[in-house]
Amino acid sequence: MSKWLTVCGAAAVSAFVFMGGAAVETASGVGAALPAAMQEASSSTLDGVFTSAQARRGRRVYNQNCASCHGQELTGGEMAPSVAGAGFIVYWTEVPVGVLFDRIKMTMPEDGPGRLSDEEYTDVVAYMLDRSDYPSGETELPADKAEMDKIMIVAGE
């Protein structure tokens, strides 16, 4: 626990309640996270972890499945919060990308959770990172939670 606290920092800790090592969903709604996975993180969202082509694919998926609630500009709507930019990232800083992926897959779109493929969810995450001003790179974000758990969301520049 104390080691995890050191790794993850205060912003992420506020989003989690720990019971016997398992993360339990709290009001802020972050899905289950494995501390072990966080300690294995080997890269960050500043390292170019998605491609621009992937983000463009993600934009199509987003516009069809998410924009009605979260807005064309990802800035949120009447009921739904923003899903890009500093106001969003502050809640996800020091959380692995795989946890964000899982949270979206389990709960979104709110009117039909889980109805997209893993590839589509992954492309949407790439789009959200792109719209949060993280750099694109040469390699696509892999549609594999364990791989995404190795990539830490860090505060932008």
**For binding to ligand HEC (CB under 6 A), which residues are involved?**
28-29, 65-66, 68-70, 79-81, 83, 88, 91, 104, 107-111, 124
Closer CB to ligand HEC, residue 57 or residue 70?
Answer: 70
Closer CB to ligand HEC, residue 65 or residue 93?
Answer: 65
Closer CB to ligand HEC, residue 58 or residue 142?
Answer: 58
Supply the minimum distance, in Å, between the C-beta of residue 147 and ligand HEC.
Answer: 19
Q: Cα separations (Å) of 20 from 1, 31, 111?
A: 10, 16, 32
Supply the minimum distance, in Å, between the C-beta of residue 31 and ligand HEC.
Answer: 10
Supply the minimum distance, in Å, between the C-beta of residue 3 and ligand HEC.
Answer: 25
Closer CB to ligand HEC, residue 3 or residue 64?
Answer: 64
Supply the minimum distance, in Å, between the C-beta of residue 157 and ligand HEC.
Answer: 20
